[in-house]
Each structure stands twice: as structure tokens, then as C-alpha cells.
Chain A
Amino acid sequence: DAGVTQSPTHLIKTRGQQVTLRCSPKSGHDTVSWYQQALGQGPQFIFQYYEEEERQRGNFPDRFSGHQFPNYSSELNVNALLLGDSALYLCASSLNGYETQYFGPGTRLLVL
């Protein structure tokens, strides 16, 4: 049974560019949440997708957007990248969003 998968594993971008990160949830899960983890910090909640809609959002600007597909996979898009967007981006999946969240290995984004 495959767990949560994310791609790519690493990414280097320059300021002002746009990036798309991808996540496939654990089998049987229908909800995907995204978190940003800066170096030396705990993860910060970005948003959650359920039934292809954004259900809840954390304190992140509109430059951060997402999408969920009918197969429950999800994308995180970040526009107009800033140096401060450099972080590990974690995807977590769960059932209905009420159950335990299981995390993927993350995508490490470096903005130069």
C-alpha cells in the first residue's frame, strides 16, 4: 500500500518565478493538506482540499494556490516566488479531514 508521495523531491527557482508541487494521497484517502516547514521550524498549515475545493486556509497570501483533482491528488502553486518561500513543503492526506493525517516526504524548494 503506497503512502503519500510528492514530486519533485528538490527544486531550485529564482525570485519572481512560479512553481508547482504535486502530491498523491495515501490509498483510500480523499483529503489533502499542505504545510510549509521553514528551516528549524515546525510545519505551518497552508490549506486543505476536500472534494476538489479548498475547505480551510491558513495565514498565507494569495500567491499560494492549489487544486485537487478527481482522483484526490493535489497541486500546490506558488507565484512570484520570494526568497522567504524557501522551505520544505509537506503534503498530508487523511480521510474526510477528520482522521489522522499522514505525511509525505516533502519537496524542498530553494529560491535564489
Chain B
Amino acid sequence: DAKTTQPPSMDCAEGRAANLPCNHSTISGNEYVYWYRQIHSQGPQYIIHGLKNNETNEMASLIITEDRKSSTLILPHATLRDTAVYYCIVRVGNAGNMLTFGGGTRLMVKP
């Protein structure tokens, strides 16, 4: 799986949009971009994934650049409960393929 680069930490004001960047310059054509988050002492939670088109669900939006070398996860209205470590992972979309976790971005949402 391609490696990803994320900033180690970010702050965001409550109610504002949180934009979390991820670089994946060596991504292959068949690799998806997945985002997970891990709240303290819990298992990772799936947020969203995409291949090349932008995606949106009830939790977040995923913006993937046209060359697919980077992406941004957007939490439109961050709350205190969104404080967590966010992991960007690229992976071939096959059930037998595991996820390889990097360091992630520790997002702190502040009142």
C-alpha cells in the first residue's frame, strides 16, 4: 500500500470546518483513499473512502485532487466529540487487504 503523509496535529474551533490534509503521491490507480478516526481508548471508526471522485456522507466530505496525489477530509461543523486521531490510508479495495496505519493527525476541537 502507498504511504501517506499527514500533519501530526491540528486545532479547530468548535462549529468551524476542520480540513485535514493527506499526501499520497505514490498512490496506484487501483488504490482507494480511506479515512478512519480513533477516539481515545476505542477502536478506529470508518469515516469515508473514495477512488477519484469527491465523496460526501453524513459524517464528512472527501476531496481528492485530480492527480490523486493528495486529499482533504472535511468535517463541516466540528464538535468537541470530533476530537480524535484521524488516519488517512490508501489501500487496494479488496476484502483480503489489511489497513496499514501511519501516525495520523491528532485533531483537537476547542470550544
Q: Do A and B come from one complex?
A: no
User: Interface of B with A (CB < 8 Å)?
Assistant: none
User: Interface of A with B (CB < 8 Å)?
Assistant: none
